[in-house]
Copies of this chain bind each other. A is one copy, B any other.
């Protein structure tokens, strides 16, 4: 079982950085629609989406943002931290098959309030920025090592 390990507040430095890479699948699009309730056809209906300015289905912006939150929660600062706020600007669409990389970098540390500001930018396989953003977190002051929780497989069952 993979362990998740944090960087405790006292060890965190400006410039600390990590990345997380993932490729968007059609199942991701459908699951995100399901779990968010966002059934806008620009994400799901290829025929309709082809008529839009995006010329095809695009990821929910919040899916890409959820990868940011994953990187914060599992890598930097990792488990035990508290997610205080997030800003995101959606710069470019993400499509099925696109490989996106979340880049986190600590940009500020507030010693008094025990908080860190982390830049949270996401680029695609062409190096173009798809999301620009910044997060504020309160890392744990203690060392935390936890087991990653095992997830079930997911099967999609058509209603037809």
Contact = CB atoms under 8 A, between A and B. Distances in A.
Contacts of A45: 147, 149
Tier of interface size on chain A: 35 or more
Given A73-B40, A155-B155, A156-B154, A35 B66 contact: yes
Given A66-B60, A157-B153, A157-B154, A148 B41 contact: yes
A36 B157 contact: no
Among A40, A45, A69, A79, residue most surrounded by chain B Cβ atoms (within 10 Å)? A40
Given A40-B4, A86-B88, A90-B84, A69 B60 contact: yes
Contacts of A60: 66, 69, 73
Interface string A54-87: 0000001111011111100110000110111111
Interface string A83-114: 11111111000000000000000000000000
A158 B149 CA distance: 12
B155 A33 contact: no
A149 B158 CA distance: 12
A36 B154 contact: no
B154 A154 contact: yes
A155 B34 CA distance: 12
A22 interface: yes
A39 B148 CA distance: 6
A62 B65 contact: yes
Contacts of A37: 20, 22, 67, 70, 74
